[in-house]
Structure 1
């Protein structure tokens, strides 16, 4: 039931996007073919309709730059080409959608638009008939089933562990330091911005040396977001800071505080609270991240495989790039 409601919401927004929020779609664009996938022609009208779906509902098209519009157009065209390839694969693999399921969705849409006539009128204004929209809905449902069956993947802990053991070299971390951080930036808009920042850094450093809590000083003086946590950043490895800063902090022992380190952008004071040698990140620590990344990788590979299978049978021609 939840899946059904989700699909309904998708198509309500899709129908609303067809209606248009700003720019008008010239009906003549239906005649301009911009791509072909097998025998299926994709028109400029199709592309512009889907561009509207891609745009946020609260976005004002009048402020849409030409560069952004071109990017959206390319994305929309690629989507429509891939959609036809996936639809072909769905049919080839025998995926079917009961007409009763489509009837239910259409009835719900009619309710949202108060009547079948209102829905039909809205669609007609953008050059698509109720019958064509129904076909689009069927196509979407078939593709959805195809992706659920052949692309979606759920990795078990055992599969993740096996991948981890075979690829441990990928999870190696260099030496890292656990630090607290104070950063006081130079404001270039002020005539004496560097001097002001330096004096502020000196005040902070003086308080620390006199015995004040580093975290408290960080909270009051630092311009880095870590100030909220008393300057605590946790473990960081080389590459996190500028070379000049790293040269100084990697000389420090645990518990030591750096002198004020001046760079082009500002002043840094760092306390080393721990050191960790180069290591292989433990499986428990990396498991959740690995699941996300590996799942995404496998899904992408399976998705591309479906498209490539369809391309073996269908010729894709793009006339307007």
Structure 2
């Protein structure tokens, strides 16, 4: 769902108190400690701490758990996080080797433009100003997206697409014949939305407005008209809030659960996401069918989904084996068991 399934993570600006000069020197030595060398790159403790802080912020916001509890949970997985950062560094280096930077930057710029349009802002500078007011650092978000998109592009091109296009017509047809139950008509719902953005606004006021709009819609007000008059989606006047039709099983859990018991023409409670509030209306429901139908694309996708986890693990194992990785002895005991899991499985099989 283009507008619904893409929530944008905003990272709070970190504010550090001023410490005495001696303390600063000590802290600088700790922060700059090299945790691991990966080929020509290094992973420092400052990077690990920064990414752990971002993970804590994200999980606190998503889970609503106390910060102290989330911090303890993340700290317990520090070795796993460092291993993940090493794997990410390998993928970023591979991305540079493949020359994906141009595509990545284009996607990042387009994402910012999409948010700008959704928030009815006139320029990217205006968007950055609104983000700053909300405590978000556009440069930090850009860097986070750059890492994510580089990683995703490398895996898609080096692993996923090769699997998807590698199936022969005979294999595709054979899989369909053996798994017809997987390819029946799915249950779908058609949805309309009203989106209220938080950018540049008082959050409590936005939440209150959302409650009022839900009450109006449930009282019989025209949902399309409410969307045109209130939604922050740039295309609301043309779409009247209509988003499209979606497979229930593929719907983001954040929206699937609130919509589970909503009947046709019914309206959900306000759904809070990172960038604002969603109010959803069920325009139609289509029940699932029992009759199987052949769709080559869907069959290839099903075949590929089954193979991707193991194929990606194998690819990462190859990247690691071809790389120079040296882990600081202080961190090796917690990192190595998480980083070289697949290699140990191979060694175990060979020894039997």
Q: What TM-score bracket applies, with the shorter chain setting the length?
A: 0.3 to 0.5
Structure number with larger C-alpha Rg: 1
TM-score under structure 2 length normalisation: 0.39
Structure of greater relative contact order (alpha carbons < 8 Å, 6+ residues apart): 2
